[in-house]
Structure 1
Amino acid sequence: MSGYKNILVGLDLSQESTQVLDRAAEIAAQSNAQLSLAHIIEPLTFAYGGDIPMDLSEVQEQLQNQAKEQLRRAAAPLNIPAERQHVVLGQPATEIHRLAEDAGCDLIVIGSHGRHGLALLLGSTANGVLHGAGCDVLAVRVHPSGESK
């Protein structure tokens, strides 16, 4: 089996994202693969269901700009060019599937927080990405910052 050639890394931009990116970079180095980064922002109207009687577009734009800057900083040490850094508005699993398909990715790397109980029953982004991806998916178990692995 040959190694992966085109890897999409879905990041939530939390402190634990470095664990996911480090694992993806390790795989990319072993396979001489290209890395792309993605951060998906759910529209504020999804979260609040339109119940807030105000225009949230300025807040949404600020969130997107902050995410682009964080993604740029994460990409810099790995020399990932701007055209392979994606900040997208939408439903995370759906957008990750679309980005991976559009770019011809053969691996998606995402973080998994290992939730249990009710949080597990309600589903997660990692679960959504796994079910429906057209390529391999690696869910990297992330640990809260400062917690030993």
Structure 2
Amino acid sequence: MIIAGGGPIMSKTEGYQRIVVAVAIEVAAHPALRRAVNVAERTNGSVTMVHALKPSPLSPDTARAAVVERTRSELEALQAGQPRIRGLRLVDDRPWTALVDIADETDADLVVIGSFVHGQLRALLGTNSDRVLHQARRDILVVRSDAYNDAHPPRDYTHIVAATDLTDHGRAAVERAAGLADAFRARLTLLNVMAHFPEDRENETTITPENLDPQQFQQDLRTEALARLAVGLRHPDLARQVAITTESVAHGVADHAREVRADLIVIGSRGSYGLNRLLGDTADEIMHRVPCDLLIVRG
């Protein structure tokens, strides 16, 4: 059901104040860390770095201590000269799931992970990830690690696409996208993807009149709803797009991101905010398909 209203939406111009980022030492160029610092600079926030050592229960205590000290030195070198990085947490007794605990301890409003760490989390937690990370009630920015290197590090976002299903719970994501677009002075596009147009699934509030084409009627409804969102954001001329795909919503979002060369996609989360819910189902499929960073905003 399309229920996006036309009331004012106050952009979150305060930005992200407390950012926690997972730093994988072995990933060249450290794109997740660079992106976290970049966001902090634009939103006047601070960054806490987190690194989880690989477990090695058979290592002698002295050898393990040397690994801890060497890793801490590497992290401190990354921190040097970065005034936005104001915390460093080296985890030796827990895996990457400690990221959620530290986000809670620091009252973070954003968790940044690279796609490398995301892969480790999925492999590590499997179907138990929701149970373990059920309290991860934070926005999550997944940085497309393979899209950056030393020659092309993360820079200011220039084109942000807010993908919305036009329901009330998705308004938080649109609001956040608008705030970030202001902070980065980036273009913002509101996107709705209509997949597998279901003539037999029209609800009673949007039944197509007999003399109109059902797909065109539904597309017009969504276009009008996007226009109301733009007015609510106080940007009535904001770019808006209803994309039609014969595949999944994830395909539609990814295809549009490539077409317009977006460097950040913003989507909302539903229901429980465990990390596997945020990065599972449609969100997970989008993350694996989009050629850019993905911000998942809690509702």
Tell me how far apart the structure 2 counterparts of residues 9 and 46 of structure 1 sit (CA, whole Å).
28
- Alignment-derived partner of residue 80 in structure 2: none
1:128 Cα offset (Å): 1.7
Whether the 8 Å CA contact 1:36–1:80 is kept in 2: the answer is: no
**Pair 1:81 & 2:237 matched:** yes
**Pair 1:28 & 2:184 matched:** no
Structure 1 segments of 4+ aligned residues over 3 angstroms from their partners: none
- Alignment-derived partner of residue 18 in structure 1: 171
Larger Rg: 2
Higher relative contact order (CA 8 A, sep 6+): 1
Picking from 257, 262, 266, the partner of 1:105 is 262
Q: Which runs of 5+ in 1 are unaligned?
A: 48-54, 143-149
1:45 Cα offset (Å): 6.2
Deviation readout 1:77-108 (Å, 9 max, x if unpaired): 342636x2111122211111111111111100
Picking from 39, 44, 49, the partner of 2:198 is 44
Whether the 8 Å CA contact 2:223–2:242 is kept in 1: the answer is: yes
Whether the 8 Å CA contact 1:9–1:37 is kept in 2: the answer is: yes
Question: Matched residue of 1:39: which SS?
Answer: strand
The letter of the residue matching 1:131 is: H
Deviation readout 1:32-51 (Å, 9 max, x if unpaired): 1110011011211697xxxx
TM-score in terms of structure 2 length: 0.39
Whether the 8 Å CA contact 1:35–1:80 is kept in 2: the answer is: no
Identity of aligned residues (%): 29
Whether the 8 Å CA contact 1:40–1:92 is kept in 2: the answer is: yes
Aligned residue pairs total: 129
1:129 Cα offset (Å): 1.0
- Alignment-derived partner of residue 147 in structure 1: none
Whether the 8 Å CA contact 2:169–2:270 is kept in 1: the answer is: no
Tell me how far apart the structure 1 counterparts of residues 164 and 281 of structure 2 sit (CA, whole Å).
14
Whether the 8 Å CA contact 2:253–2:286 is kept in 1: the answer is: yes
Tell me how far apart the structure 2 counterparts of residues 61 and 124 of structure 1 sit (CA, whole Å).
28
The letter of the residue matching 2:190 is: L
Q: Which runs of 5+ in 2 are unaligned?
A: 1-37, 39-154, 202-209
The letter of the residue matching 1:39 is: N
- Alignment-derived partner of residue 58 in structure 1: 213
